[in-house]
A and B are shown apart, each in its own frame.
Chain A
């Protein structure tokens, strides 16, 4: 058995120029499959952990998915708002530890602008209860100060001190978009990358949002009426309406009681959802895409392995004499089968491991760049159990694929006797 494996290795090595192509294709396709799997798992994780440490997300009554899309992903589509008084009542509830108001509706070069309170930066958690960190600068203090998510800053090339203007609405910078050119903001801080929607958000104070719209009514500037930025301090900047509220509870066990309190809120129809549950639900709807990607990658691996089987098969003709020699030396048909399968095993196992090494190298060196440039979350580090299982499946399939040439060789060695007719 050992001797056959050694012969298989030497024989494969002697045909290395032919097998190198197969080796490379298996390595690349394995790396692809592993990368898809890893990105899938990491993306799911970063998606479902876009927010952690928030017990309830509260907003005007709609669907849970819609509320989460709005409050966590800052996506467009919320037409309803909730009253400021409802927020203060929820914040004052005895079970509530903290409550952070959110107001959406404006944008900057397609990035959502989130109006919130300074508490946002202290209470927001993502991933494994990680706190937000400032890559540079500080939180906003007054009106017309902005804190940028990591991607906003890198994509647009902004540093602290930059002056930016916002657009009304989430639609981006179309010609029809109304702008807030008259009231520019100063960038005072930039957050470190989180891999969450925060990276694509511009954070300002709620008061700034109110100030922007002092001279607006019904979603458009009032004609012939404007208030200069240095005059806004004279007005009451407390908002009358907000989009959603993030709530942290004193005790997690209170979560369902608080949820019921909000769902049965008397003064206006509200809803409270558990973000983890809603995010999971949302991810499920993306499950088809996820499975399709994985299936395509698996197919690429299968094509690579079929190529290996074809290469081994095509090589059999010129190896018939070799196989006859081994038969004369006492090798049984089973040894011949084992020889071919061992070659398949060596090439696939080697290819799969090279694929893993390739992925590890890419993840180790290019992960920050992938995150920055494409928002792809590719974790570095040791392969997970599932990835190892995938590798094992690749190798097992490779062995199965080389059973065919092995079987052909076995049949041939029986029919050829010791002097193959060529």
Chain B
């Protein structure tokens, strides 16, 4: 991949607070994730993990400092260009309610291709995008008989695997997972994490995996506690 030399993520002197909240939520001097690196980031609920991911995705902007994703400094981009970067190069996974319940599993997987031409092209490079979506679903152990089921009717575990396939389609260089396992039972959590790690490695994508449960940290390239990099952490706790 061309982006191999460029770090997936670099944060510098980042400061962020939500509107109408006096205390800063995040204050990070520096943090980076190498291309293809798989990082486990943990911290208690309300410590700002999801906020950090919103900043990395360019959905929110820091008041100070810079967020550099795949060599692009987000604060210098227009809102439209940030949306474009997110559509083209970042795959998102959430805790729950990842899918549009009224679309079929396979149509949910194909959604990023409707928002990003470059992901559509990459997904259909070797075979039609639909076949690529089916390949990913197969890799993630989702049986073909549920591919055309409306997403709202799938079990939580199935939904998370569909969401993973959607994050992976079109080979984004950066995967962001926000507690994707917390709705799964303990036995399935590790299986899902391992699947995700395997697929990220296969795609050569960097992975930032966020969880409040550090037992899942095994098998990652690196484990980081948000409190260790976030100087605003003590103020939140106070």
Residues of A with Cβ closer than 8 Å to B?
Answer: 3, 6-7, 10-11, 13-14, 321-322, 325-335, 415, 417-419
Q: Quick one: CB contact mask for B90-126 with A, threshold 8 Å, 1 for yes? A: 0010100111111100000001101110000000000
Q: Are A330 and B59 in touch, CB under 8 angstroms?
A: no
Bound: A6/B97 CA distance, A: 21
Do A329 and B60 have beta carbons less than 8 Å apart?
Answer: no
| Bound Cα distance A11, B88 (Å) | 24
Q: Is the CB of B79 within 8 A of A330?
A: no
Q: Does B190 contact A (CB under 8 A)?
A: no
Is the Cβ of B57 less than 8 Å from the Cβ of A328? yes
| Nearest CB of B to A1, in Å | 11
Let me know if B51 and A417 touch, CB within 8 A. yes
**Hey, what's the 0/1 contact readout for B60-102 against A, CB within 8 Å counting as 1?**
1000000000000000000110011011100010100111111
Contact B83 A11 (CB under 8 A): no
Give the CA-CA distance A328 to B86 in the complex, in Å. 7
Verify B50–A330 contact, CB threshold 8 A: no
Are A325 and B99 touching (Cβ within 8 A)?
yes
- Give the docked Cα–Cα distance between A322 and B151 (Å): 13
The 4 residue pairs across chains A and B that have the minimum distance between CB atoms: A330-B87, A14-B102, A3-B114, A328-B92
Are the C-beta atoms of A3 and B50 separated by less than 8 Å?
no
> In the complex, what residue of chain B is closest to A319 when comparing beta carbons?
B100
Given contacts A14-B102, A418-B57, contact A330 B116 (CB under 8 A): yes
Cβ–Cβ contact A330 & B53, under 8 A: no
Contacts of A10 in B (CB 8 A): 102-103
Judge whether B3 is part of the interface by a CB distance below 8 angstroms. Answer: no
CB distance from A417 to the nearest CB of B (A): 4
- Contact, CB under 8 Å: B115 / A325: no
The answer, among A13, A14, A417, for a CB contact under 8 Å with B59, is A417
Smallest CB-CB separation from A334: which chain B residue? B80
- Residue B178 lies at the interface, judged by CB distance under 8 Å to chain A: yes
Residue from A6, A329, A335, A418 in contact with B112 in the complex, judged by beta carbons closer than 8 Å: A329
Other than A326-B100, A328-B94, give 13 A-B pairs with Cβ distance below 8 A. A7-B114, A10-B103, A325-B99, A325-B100, A328-B59, A328-B92, A330-B86, A331-B83, A331-B87, A335-B83, A417-B54, A417-B59, A417-B60
- Contact residues in B for A11 (Cβ distance below 8 Å): 100, 102
Q: Which residues of A contact B86 (CB under 8 A)?
A: 328-330
Residues of A within 8 A of B99 (CB): 325
Q: Beyond A418-B50, A419-B50, is A322–B100 a contact (Cβ under 8 Å)?
A: yes
In the bound assembly, the distance between CA atoms of A321 and B112 in angstroms comes to 17
Q: Which of B50, B54, B87 contacts A329 (CB 8 A)?
A: B87
Residues of B within 8 A of A (CB): 19, 50-51, 53-54, 57, 59-60, 79-80, 83-84, 86-88, 92, 94, 97-103, 111-112, 114-116, 178
User: B115 contacts A331, CB within 8 Å?
Assistant: yes
Nearest-Cβ distance from residue B194 to partner chain A, whole angstroms: 24
Q: Tell me whether A418 and B114 are in contact in the complex, defined as CB-CB below 8 angstroms, given that A325-B99, A325-B100, A330-B86 are known contacts.
A: no
Chain B residues positioned under 8 Å from A415 (CB to CB): 19
- Bound Cα distance from A321 to B50, whole angstroms: 14
Which residue of the partner chain A has the closest CB to B93?
A328
Shortest Cβ distance from B39 into chain A, in angstroms? 18
Most buried by B among A321, A326, A330, A335: A330
Interface centre among A6, A332, A334 (most CB of B within 10 A): A332
A123 to B217, CA, bound (A): 101
In angstroms, Cα B94 to Cα A417, docked, is 13
Q: Are B102 and A329 in contact (CB under 8 A)?
A: no
Bound CA span A413–B79, Å:
13
CB-based nearest A residue for B86? A330
Give min CB distance, B192 to chain A, whole Å: 19
Instruction: Give A180 to B83 CA distance when docked, in angstroms.
Output: 90
Complex: how many Å from CA A335 to CA B97? 20
5 A/B residue pairs, CB under 8 Å, sorted by A = A6-B114, A7-B100, A10-B103, A417-B50, A417-B51
A321 to B101, CA, bound (A): 11
In Å, the complex CA distance between A321 and B114 comes to 19
The interface residues of chain B lying within 8 Å CB-to-CB of A332 are 79-80, 83
Chain B residues with CB under 8 A of A333: 79
From the candidates A3, A13, A329, A334, name the one contacting B92 in the complex (CB within 8 A): A329
Assuming A3-B115, A330-B115, is B102 touching A419 (CB within 8 A)?
A: no
Q: Is the CB of A418 within 8 A of B115?
A: no
CB-based contact B94/A418 at 8 Å: yes
Contact B51 A330 (CB under 8 A): no
B178 touches A325 (CB 8 A): no
CB distance B60 to A13 under 8 Å? no
CB-CB under 8 A from A7, the residues of chain B are 100, 114
Task: Collect the chain B residues with CB atoms within 8 Å of residue A419's CB.
Answer: 50, 54, 94, 178
Given A418-B94, A419-B54, A419-B94, check contact A327 B102 (CB 8 Å).
no
